[in-house]
Amino acid sequence: MLRLNTDYALPFLKEPLDALRPQILEASKKTLHKSGAGSDYLGWRDLLLKPNDALLDDVQQTAAKIRSEADVFLCIGIGGSYLGAKAVIEALTPYFPSDQHGKKGSPEVLFAGHHMSGAYMRDLLRYLEGKSVYVNVISKSGTTLEPALAFRFIREWMGQRFDDADRRIIVTTDPSSGALNQLHRELGYKKYEIPRDVGGRFSVLTPVGLLPIAVAGVDIRSLFYGAVAGIERYSNENSDNPALQYAAIRTQLLRQGYGVEVFATFEPRLSGMGEWWQQLFGESEGKEETGLFPACVKYSTDLHSLGQYMQQGQRFLLETFLMAEDDEGGIQVPDFDANLDELNYLTGRTLTEVNRKAYEGTAKAHKAGGVPNMTLWLDRIAPETLGECIYFFEHAVAISGYLLGVNPFDQPGVEAYKQEMFSLLGKPK
């Protein structure tokens, strides 16, 4: 279960949260009753209200087959088509797999199509040589430039190396339209559907995220039902609802002139959650010249680079920490007789304890330096808690968007760079 600590944020509010209560209730109503802008894209809630266990079973069966045959599972996608899966896999799999070729049970999950680096594609194709490869290309339209371009290279490479290449390629796409559906019909690729009422940044609990997460060996049923528990906990209008509190505090601070929200974690394997959060909030709120700018940091590493700015730079920052009560870091500091590093005062303490004190000191110092901060606590880093965490932020961003008066579920600004890029590339109109 999650808990939100707001002790270091509330003192910065110029008005009590109760002043926002009528607006919060209206935003909640729009979310829960599908009465707000973009309400036709609230399918990310519906899929939790009516779980499809048959789909979960099918994804698990497909993943089991891939796990038994593949050395590498290559996911091709950009934005919401890969960030959620990458975040969960990083959080719930070992830092250093015992066998990177999958001989111990889990294929290596790699990503492509999230940028257009020629050097990356060249090195990726070299790395895949001699390995058993399965591919999952994820795109509603099938024509988004980055993943479509990557898939051209990978599709050619697969066809040259595997007689059963078509069996090894899985498409996750629109239920019926788009380029990938045509390939599915012509070549017999296995297909999973992206629900039309679920936007990319909300799609991690659809086959978009569930298949690669399952291939990585994560229990997707626990992940999914952790989110189901989240929808039960946060879909109410009580004043102590932490998702509503989080949305309200950050909105009020924005109105007071704060412009940047920094997502921070002291556990490296949770940093991918920050990258997913960054897209979720950036695309949902950053429109009509409003919204907090979302940025991610990794502590304590970045305390030795950005720490000076966080403590004493311009005071337009607020901070959200994601922490785990149990981070499985119970290894104890050894004792050295010479004590040349002067660390014997830590002898016998665990790295978890040391890391926790670093967090506590940072949160306290940043508050004193004028940075309001909140902490979202996971009881442990596990599939069910990650599922609940995913829903927490999805629900909060819907509330935040409506509090700002924007549609939280569209992203019209994303098209601007594409139009300029396609013009420069000479794309036919």
Tell me if residue 379 falls in helix, strand or coil: strand
Question: Which phi and psi angles does 152 have, rounded to 5°?
Answer: -60, -50
The catalytically annotated residue of 90, 146, 283, 319 is 283
Q: Do the Cβ atoms of 134 and 107 come closer than 8 Å?
A: yes
The catalytically annotated residue of 304, 342, 415, 429 is 304
What one-character DSSP code corresponds to residue 350?
Answer: B
Residues 6+ apart with CB under 8 A from 231: 45, 48, 49, 391, 395
Residues 6+ apart with CB under 8 A from 342: none
Q: Is residue 283 flagged as an active site residue?
A: yes
How deeply is 365 buried, as exposed, middle or buried, from its count of CB atoms within 10 A (0-12, 13-18, 19+)? middle
The owner of tokens 């607020």 is 318
Q: Is residue 304 flagged as an active site residue?
A: yes
Pairing mode of beta strands 108-112, 72-76:
parallel
Q: Helix 383-404 vs helix 21-32: angle between axes, to the nearest 10 degrees?
A: 120
In order of 26, 368, 371, the CA distances from 361 in angstroms are: 38, 11, 13
Q: Do the Cβ atoms of 285 and 400 come closer than 8 Å?
A: yes
Q: Is residue 395 flagged as an active site residue?
A: no
- Report the 10 Å Cβ neighbour count for 15: 10
In whole angstroms, give the CA distance from residue 359 to residue 264.
10
Please, which residues bridge with residue 318 across strands?
261
Q: Which sequence positions are flagged as catalytic?
A: 283, 304, 418
